[in-house]
Each structure stands twice: as C-alpha cells, then as structure tokens.
C-alpha cells in the first residue's frame, strides 16, 4: 500500500476493506518500526491491481492534495478556467481552507465541492459546510465507513443542512447501477432516485451507468423521467414555510428579497421568476426557497477598470449556477444605454424573449422579476 503510516494508525482489531468491500481484513498485529501490518482475510474473492482501501473508524494522516494534485490544478486546471474541483474524503473545515491557499489569487474563481466519505467527515459536517461551495453525498465509500443501516440517515441529514445553508448538494453513487448492463432499472433504484429528489437534493449523478454502461442515453432519460415525477409530488408550499421557519433571523437584505420573490410567485401563480444578477448570489438565494416555477438567472456583465486597463466579467457566475435546483442561467448582452433604468429594461426585454423561446413562459403569463 502507498500509505506509509498504515502501521502507525491501525491497531489490532481494526477492519480493512479492499476493493469497495469485496475483501474484508481483520488487523491482527502492527509493527510501526517495520511498517508492516499482519491481517486475517475474512472471505475469498478475486481482486485486481490498484484497488481502493477503506479504514473505517480510523483517523488517517493524509494531505488533502498531493503534490501531483497541486501540479495538475495549477499547471492545467487554472490555465483552462476550470469552474469547480470535487475533493474526496474531506475530513474537516480546515482541509478546504488549506486547498484555497494553494489556489492563491484563483481561489474566488474555482469553487470547491466537498465529498464526505468517512466517519470523521460526518462528525465535522457543520464546519465543512461552512467552508465549502457545494456538497456531494458520495455514498460509495461512505457505506464502507459507517454502518450500512445508517447511510440513509446521513444522506437525509446532509441534504437537509445543505438546503438550509442554500448550498447545492449532489446525490451520487449507484443510482441506476443495474443499467450498466440492463435497459431497465430495478424498482429499488427508481425509488432511490425519487427519494433523493424528495429529500431535497439539487442534482443526481450517474457514474458507471453513463461512463461505461451499455445504455448511457437511456439511463439519463429514465432518470430524468423519475425526477420530473418526483418533483411533481412535492409540497412546495410546505417546503417554503419550513425554510422560512428554519432560517435564522435576522435575514440579510438579499435573502429577504429572495424569499419575498418566491412568496410573490407562489401567491400570484407566476410561471417564472426572472433574476437580474451580476455575481449570481441573489439568484442562488431564490433557489434556496424552492419555488415551484423555474428561475431564469440573467447574469449581467460587469466592467471593471484599473486606470486605463478595462476588463469585463466572464461567464463563470452563470456556469457556477448550473448545479442549483431550478436555476437556468443565461448571459445578458452588454447595453450602451445611458441610464441603469434604460439598460435594465433592455436586458429584461431580452430575457423575456429568451424565456419564451425556451418555453419557460408564454405571452400573458404572470412573471416575477427581481433586480
């Protein structure tokens, strides 16, 4: 194994899972000076090379990023304008702080998605949530680290807290696993996808089904149909009331505007909420309150100047919005109008045309606009 402190961190009686739990080892003896661990194999199975290893209930001393990771991020990721990095096995909030230090001046442009996949991360979830931009419920390795009967509780807890914080959450791993080989999912898988939607997840993710499966396009279509059906059964009024009740006071002015826009859309039976935004913050806050209608987030370009050096904001805020539930980002064209009022009218008119073209609304529909 590549982890050099294995013999230091383990103790007799610990369990080691190899290849996603295919093989279970029980630790019998550790020799830190020699760097060896003697184990008893509890079952028979075939495994290949370079398989993953899980150490449940063991705190390991591993860096969040290896030197190779840093080289890849700074040498390839930053020059290619990557939007987000998913970090595996995040254990505490300081892991994210240290990663942002590696980014340097690019820390504001590259967002972090945290994957909690061990017991330590579950215990420190609140501090991780404070530091992260997005979250992934990665159930594959998590099932190796915590009792299988508690995974559903961990999933519901993490999604609920992400919803309250207004941060996007992705549910992943074996959503439609049988569709790697079969053209139809099992009933349990269909229910799993629907329950993730009912729990409040912003996104659901396919892995092997689309990367190596025999029916990638069909898997996406079936997952989409399940999501639409699950969303149609949600009690949006009850969700909004629960979000209002659970959000601590006092709210920020932006959050007050966002919640008021959703309340207005619900009462007016609007078909669309249009948000004009520069950085995307208020549109994301609107998404937090789970309106029953889509949110068209119109990202307005910002001109910045430093003496004679002018720059215009890029489309990054729009791309960052793509993982928020119900949020549809579009880029506004620059306007040469003399006043902000005139410019806003031009952008709003263009947004209405775009929404009609996307079939988000039609002439005569009630629409809530927020600027």
Residues 6+ apart with CB under 8 A from 34: 7
Q: What is the mean pLDDT of residues 158-164?
A: 96
Report the pLDDT value the prediction gives residue 221, as an integer from 0 to 100: 97
Locate 204 and state its tokens: 């659901």
Report the pLDDT value the prediction gives residue 139, as an integer from 0 to 100: 85
User: pLDDT tens digit string along 292-322?
Assistant: 999 999 988 766 666 666 555 678 888 999 9
Report the pLDDT value the prediction gives residue 338, as an integer from 0 to 100: 44
User: pLDDT tens digit string along 166-205?
Assistant: 999 999 988 999 999 999 999 999 999 999 999 999 999 9
In whole angstroms, what is the distance from residue 140 CA to residue 154 CA? 13
Q: Reduced to 3 DSSP states, what percent helix, strand and coil does the chain have, rounded to the nearest 5?
A: 45, 20, 35
Q: What is the mean pLDDT of residues 105-131?
A: 91
User: pLDDT tens digit string along 73-108?
Assistant: 999 999 998 999 999 989 999 999 999 999 888 888
Locate 22 and state its tokens: 């295919």
Residue whose structure tokens are 């890849």: 72
Report the pLDDT value the prediction gives residue 341, as an integer from 0 to 100: 64
Q: What is the mean pLDDT of residues 20-36?
A: 90
Assign 204 to helix, strand or coil. strand
CATH numbers and ranges of domains, the chain: 6-54 (2.40.33.10), 67-232 (3.20.20.60), 250-370 (3.40.1380.20)
Residues 6+ apart with CB under 8 A from 108: none
pLDDT band at 64 (very low <50, low <70, confident <90, very high): confident
Q: Tell me: pLDDT of 109 over 80.
A: yes
User: pLDDT tens digit string along 324-340?
Assistant: 999 999 988 765 554 56
pLDDT band at 346 (very low <50, low <70, confident <90, very high): confident
CA 126 to chain centre: 15
User: pLDDT tens digit string along 258-296?
Assistant: 999 999 999 999 999 999 988 889 999 999 999 999 999
Q: Tell me: pLDDT of 213 over 60.
A: yes
Report the pLDDT value the prediction gives residue 312, as an integer from 0 to 100: 56
In whole angstroms, what is the distance from residue 192 CA to residue 186 CA? 10
Q: What is the mean pLDDT of residues 26-50?
A: 90
> Whole-model pTM?
0.87
pLDDT band at 219 (very low <50, low <70, confident <90, very high): very high
User: Are residues 168 and 162 in contact, defined by beta-carbon separation less than 8 angstroms?
Assistant: yes
In whole angstroms, what is the distance from residue 16 CA to residue 335 CA? 61
In whole angstroms, what is the distance from residue 37 CA to residue 221 CA? 47
């Amino acid at each position: 194994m590549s982890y050099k402190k294995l013999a230091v961190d383990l103790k007799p009686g610990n369990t080691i899972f190899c290849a996603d739990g295919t093989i279970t080892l029980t630790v019998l003896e550790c020799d830190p000076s020699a760097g060896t661990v003697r184990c008893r194999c509890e079952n028979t199975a075939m495994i290949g090379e370079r398989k993953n290893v899980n150490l449940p209930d063991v705190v390991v001393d591993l860096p969040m990023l290896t030197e190779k990771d840093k080289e890849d991020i700074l040498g390839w990721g930053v020059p290619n304008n990557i939007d987000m990095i998913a970090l595996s096995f995040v254990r505490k909030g300081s892991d994210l702080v240290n990663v942002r230090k590696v980014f340097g001046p690019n820390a504001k442009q590259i967002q972090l998605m945290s994957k909690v996949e061990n017991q330590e991360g579950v215990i420190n979830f609140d501090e991780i949530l404070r530091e992260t931009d997005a979250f992934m419920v990665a159930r594959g390795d998590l099932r190796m680290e915590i009792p299988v009967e508690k995974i559903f509780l961990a999933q519901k807890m993490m999604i609920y807290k992400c919803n309250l914080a207004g941060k996007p959450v992705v549910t992943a791993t074996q959503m439609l696993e049988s569709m790697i080989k079969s053209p139809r999912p099992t009933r349990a898988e269909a229910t799993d996808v629907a329950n993730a939607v009912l729990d409040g997840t912003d996104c659901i993710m396919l892995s092997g089904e689309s990367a190596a499966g025999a029916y990638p396009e069909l898997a996406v279509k079936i997952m989409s149909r399940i999501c639409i059906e699950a969303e149609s059964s949600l009690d949006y009024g009850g969700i909004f009331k629960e979000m209002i009740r659970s959000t601590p006071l006092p709210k920020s002015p932006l959050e007050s505007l966002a919640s008021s826009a959703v309340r207005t859309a619900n009462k007016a039976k609007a078909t669309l909420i249009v948000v004009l935004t520069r950085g995307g913050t208020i549109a994301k806050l609107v998404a937090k309150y789970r309106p029953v209608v889509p949110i068209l987030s119109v990202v307005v370009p910002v001109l910045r100047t430093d003496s004679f050096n002018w720059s215009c904001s890029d489309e990054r805020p729009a791309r960052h919005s793509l993982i928020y539930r119900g949020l549809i980002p579009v880029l506004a064209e620059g306007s040469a109008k003399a006043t902000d009022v005139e410019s806003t009218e031009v952008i709003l008119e263009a947004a209405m045309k775009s929404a009609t073209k996307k079939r988000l609304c039609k002439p005569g529909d009630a629409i809530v606009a927020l600027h």
